[in-house]
Structure 1
Amino acid sequence: MRDRYDPQVLVYRKGKTQETVDCLAGFDLVVAVMAVGIVVRMICPALADKWTGTTVVAVDSSLRSAVPVVGGHHGGNDLALHLFEKLGAYPAITTATDAAGRPSLEGAAAVLGARIVNRSSSKDVNLAFLREEVPVVRLTGPKVVLVDEGVAILKSKGGVIVGIGARRGVEATEVVEAVRLAMASVGRGIDEIRAIATGEIKRDEAGICEAAEMLGRPVIYLDGKVLNAQSPMTASRASSLGLVGVAEPAALALSERLIMPKRAYGRVTVALGE
């Protein structure tokens, strides 16, 4: 997030409704340095739906608070956090899932590098995220799948999924080096990684989480049912834990195919999927 924004100036002149609508349409993200009430009156004529509207964050003139007014799940919350990092402005995030520290459909799609096909499912899925863990299941075709309105369908945009398995107490530097070596072995760069995937049993492994932060990529934790639904190419010692594996199944669960079966790099096991 830290180098993502290229600031430009949008000047608001009271009473120029169409001018405001036209100006907002030319931006993806807008920081409005004014009271939230003024911002609401300013943008009302430009509001359509949350999927197509411009994301607007209001910041008070003293730069004490950053309030995502519209588009919280579409860049507004991240922008508010960015302003907190750079200016110290308190990020007044009010979207339910974020306020509760829970995942969201939009966030999951971003992590997976995917687009949401049936946007109408977002309400039901985000409500479910507030109550429980919502499983991520990957289906490969050809198939005909019948779903109800509460099932979100995501279409992958591509990228490498790095499946990780590791011994207890592994260091972040070990994980990062293993990932770099694995990616180099298939002629791919770190910038091509979409996400790090591992088993839910590794959620408390600080080395994996810290390595993902160092690489600038999210970690997706998959439960045992998802891992065991895969067909890994090689046997795993994770069978003693009731799992068919960790690194390969994790990579397979979020990709179409393995581009590198699991390899051991010291205390870290890596598999790559695409």
Structure 2
Amino acid sequence: MNQTGVNAIELTEGTVPEIRQTGRYAIVAITRHGVEMARSLAKQFPDADLYYMSKFARGDEEQQGIQLFTGSVRLLFPALFPVYEGLILFISLGAVVRMIAPVLKDKKTDPGVVVIDDKGRHAISVLSGHLGGANELTREVAALLGAQPVITTASDVQKTIPVDLFGRRFGWTWDPISEKKLTPVSASVVNEEHVAIVQESGEKDWWMHDTPMPPSLKIYDSIEEALAAGPDAALVITHRQLRPEEIPILDNGVLYRPKVIILGIGCNRGTSAEEIENVIRETLDHLGFSMQSVKAVGTIDLKKDEEGLLAVCSKHGWEFVYYTPEELNEMNIEEPSDTVYKFTGAYGVSEPACKRYSGQEKLVLTKRKSGNVTISVGVLA
């Protein structure tokens, strides 16, 4: 409670204020006009928390979940930056640049920052336009406010591939071995140099713009063909590990891992997460596949609470699905087992679970048993 009798966060030097974070985004305003727009925006943006100066209190803030503050707004940012995905600021651009400078860390972790002028005419993407989602957030906020979105990221302006976000909407990730090439490859793309694209798996509808792909981006059927063309940079989309003779494509290339590998797994009760993960890793290494491209693990519903399986899926962020014996028995399988049927009611677990999820009649690996684990592997078309 401050001197005005209003509950407010008191911002003081040397301390990080305590805030109530409930949404993914924070809206902050420090002027009368800004507060008007911020309150209106917050009603249309249910996943956002609203903050503004206590001198503009209306009396309904507690009921509306609005957080008031006193003191310099600069002191609020150390609390906001670590917990929100995006900040929507009704503050002048120059002031924002000066205030957020001390709390900037890394483009992979900093939130997206969007600034709106005091008349609501422009919404400006300021920080983490791509990885932090500020460009997308800017467009959304501008549409709600009737403002003009201002985005200066080269790939957005030129309507080309944003290398650091390529395939992100499908769940693709880049392989760590090529992370350091994100910046130089991005430069090659926006400078319209010869960039080779090789796609062996994953979603095909990745071109997002309403204009044709620029001629500097060329699609090749194989890494071998792309290397022969001598490109300045490359984008490679595949679930498999590259062969030694293919590695040079990554001299100035980024390797993307689409989520296309489906694992069917059966295991004895109480099998450890370590054993399950080791079998998965050994199997995929033998096939020449990347662990990063695993999308889901399927099994029988008797294993829906199997701690080892749940732990491995949770660790890697894999989808975990399970089926009834009747659902598994609907699948055509190559290696039915009367023993498995005796104990589970299904003629198989790993093979039919993998086939049912992947929709593939023919698997890459029908079945492999190792210790307490049985594994099948399929790849989405």
TM-score by length of 2: 0.38
Which of 152, 171, 175 is equivalent to 1:113?
A: 171
Q: Any idea what SS the aligned residue of 1:98 has?
A: helix
Which of 247, 252, 262 is equivalent to 1:146?
A: 247
Instruction: Please say if residues 104 and 126 of structure 1, whose CA atoms lie closer than 8 Å, have aligned partners that are also in contact.
Output: yes
Instruction: Please say if residues 10 and 23 of structure 1, whose CA atoms lie closer than 8 Å, have aligned partners that are also in contact.
Output: no
Q: Displacement, 1:54?
A: 1.4
Q: Displacement, 1:36?
A: 0.6
Q: Any idea what SS the aligned residue of 1:153 has?
A: strand
Name 2:184's counterpart in structure 1.
Answer: 124
Distance change (3 Å), C-alpha of 1:17 and 1:66: closer
Q: Give, in whole Å, the separation in 2 of the partners of 1:38 and 1:140.
A: 48
Matches within 5 A, 1:171-210: none
Distance change (3 Å), C-alpha of 1:18 and 1:153: farther
Give the total of aligned pairs. Answer: 167
Q: Give, in whole Å, the separation in 2 of the partners of 1:91 and 1:29.
A: 16
Instruction: Please say if residues 66 and 90 of structure 1, whose CA atoms lie closer than 8 Å, have aligned partners that are also in contact.
Output: yes
Name 1:86's counterpart in structure 2.
Answer: 144
Which of 41, 47, 58 is equivalent to 2:115?
A: 58
Which of 259, 263, 270 is equivalent to 2:359?
A: 259
Name 2:380's counterpart in structure 1.
Answer: 273
Q: Which amino acid aligns with 2:85?
A: D
Q: Is 1:24 equivalent to 2:126 in the alignment?
A: no
Greater relative contact order structure (CA < 8 Å, 6+ sep): 1
Q: Give, in whole Å, the separation in 1 of the partners of 2:252 and 2:45.
A: 33
Name 2:95's counterpart in structure 1.
Answer: 38
Distance change (3 Å), C-alpha of 1:14 and 1:67: farther
Q: Any idea what SS the aligned residue of 1:103 has?
A: coil
Identity %: 22
Q: Displacement, 1:146?
A: 2.8
Q: Displacement, 1:106?
A: 2.5
RMSD value over aligned CA atoms?
Answer: 3.3
Q: Give, in whole Å, the separation in 2 of the partners of 1:152 and 1:138.
A: 11
Distance change (3 Å), C-alpha of 1:14 and 1:151: farther
Distance change (3 Å), C-alpha of 1:123 and 1:13: farther
5+ residue gaps in structure 1? Answer: 161-193, 195-256, 262-271
Distance change (3 Å), C-alpha of 1:71 and 1:260: same
Distance change (3 Å), C-alpha of 1:142 and 1:123: closer
Matches within 5 A, 1:194-273: 259-260=359-360, 273=380
Q: Which amino acid aligns with 2:256?
A: L
Q: Which amino acid aligns with 1:146?
A: I
Q: Any idea what SS the aligned residue of 2:359 has?
A: strand
Q: Give, in whole Å, the separation in 1 of the partners of 2:70 and 2:102.
A: 14
Which of 1, 5, 9 is equivalent to 2:50?
A: 9
Q: Which amino acid aligns with 2:185?
A: V
TM-score by length of 1: 0.52
Name 1:175's counterpart in structure 2.
Answer: none
Instruction: Please say if residues 17 and 45 of structure 1, whose CA atoms lie closer than 8 Å, have aligned partners that are also in contact.
Output: no
Distance change (3 Å), C-alpha of 1:258 and 1:135: farther
Name 2:160's counterpart in structure 1.
Answer: 102
5+ residue gaps in structure 2? Answer: 1-43, 53-68, 193-215, 218-233, 263-294, 296-356, 362-378
Q: Give, in whole Å, the separation in 2 of the partners of 1:29 and 1:50.
A: 12
Distance change (3 Å), C-alpha of 1:158 and 1:140: closer
Q: What does the per-residue CA deviation read over 1:142-200, in whole Å, with 9 as the maximum and x for residues that have no partner?
A: 8556354521122334599xxxxxxxxxxxxxxxxxxxxxxxxxxxxxxxxx9xxxxxx
Instruction: Please say if residues 235 and 255 of structure 2, whose CA atoms lie closer than 8 Å, have aligned partners that are also in contact.
Output: no
Q: Give, in whole Å, the separation in 2 of the partners of 1:8 and 1:158.
A: 37
Q: Give, in whole Å, the separation in 1 of the partners of 2:251 and 2:242.
A: 22
Q: Displacement, 1:70?
A: 0.5
